[in-house]
Amino acid sequence: MFCPKCSQSQPSEEMRFCSRCGFPLGTVSLLLGNEGTLPELDNSTNRLSIRSRMATESLILLVLSWAIGLVCTFWFNAHGIYEGIAKIGAFTFFMLGFIGLFRFLYAFLFVKITQTTLSKDPSALKEAIRSQLPPPQMTPISDWPLRPNTREMVSQPSVTEHTTRLLDDE
């Protein structure tokens, strides 16, 4: 494959960026794989991003568990075993609601906004291809030539030999 920008021959088809100019080659390989046309976009499915799905699930967990916990508090005045079950149930469901709250905050603050299907938005496909790093260059260490030891190439007298001769003469 050749780079369409600088005509540099690429060593493999898996190259994501041109080694000379840095042009992203992911779209070129996508075009070559589909005989010069972009694949058809599937707009029939409306998928949520991972962040949106996680936040929605967390809010549902939060609301349902706190609602059940609130219903359990109405049985606090019941006598017998029902009072103990109501207190345990209220505590459990309120704690489950806090887990849902923390999961919602985690999704809102730390999960990146990415689409589960890149075919939904053409600009997301371009951005995903642009953000990819080039493949790692695998060069084994043993292929590099060893550096010659230049100290042993030419025998030279050391600096201390000349100074000790001066001391012996006196």
Rounded Cα distance between 15 and 3, Å, is: 10
Decide: 47 and 30 in contact? Cβ < 8 Å: no
By CB atoms closer than 10 A (0-12, 13-18, 19+), residue 97 is buried
Considering its fold, how many domains does the chain have in total?
1
Quick one: tokens of 162?
Answer: 């000349």
Please report whether residue 132 resides in a domain.
Answer: no
Average pLDDT, the chain: 76
Q: What is the pLDDT of residues 3-27, one digit of tens each?
A: 878 888 877 777 778 878 888 877 7
pLDDT bucket at 100, cuts 50 / 70 / 90: very high
Please report whether residue 4 resides in a domain.
Answer: no
Which comes out higher in pLDDT, residue 128 or 117?
Answer: 128
The CA angle 87-91-92, to the nearest 5 degrees, is 115
Please report whether residue 128 resides in a domain.
Answer: no
The pLDDT assigned to 153 comes to 59
| Range with the poorest average pLDDT among 29-33, 62-66, 109-113, 136-140 | 136-140
Please report whether residue 27 resides in a domain.
Answer: no
Please report whether residue 125 resides in a domain.
Answer: no
The pLDDT assigned to 113 comes to 67
Which comes out higher in pLDDT, residue 159 or 87?
Answer: 87
pLDDT bucket at 168, cuts 50 / 70 / 90: low
Identify the domain containing residue 63 by its residue range: 50-110
pLDDT (average), residues 139-155: 66
pTM to 2 decimal places: 0.41
Rounded Cα distance between 68 and 50, Å, is: 27
Please report whether residue 71 resides in a domain.
Answer: yes
Q: What is the pLDDT of residues 44-54, one digit of tens each?
A: 455 667 888 88
**Nearest-CA neighbor of 97 among 71, 129, 124, 77?**
71
pLDDT (average), residues 103-129: 67
Please report whether residue 97 resides in a domain.
Answer: yes
The pLDDT assigned to 118 comes to 47
Please report whether residue 5 resides in a domain.
Answer: no
How many other CB atoms sit within 10 Å of the CB of residue 160?
8
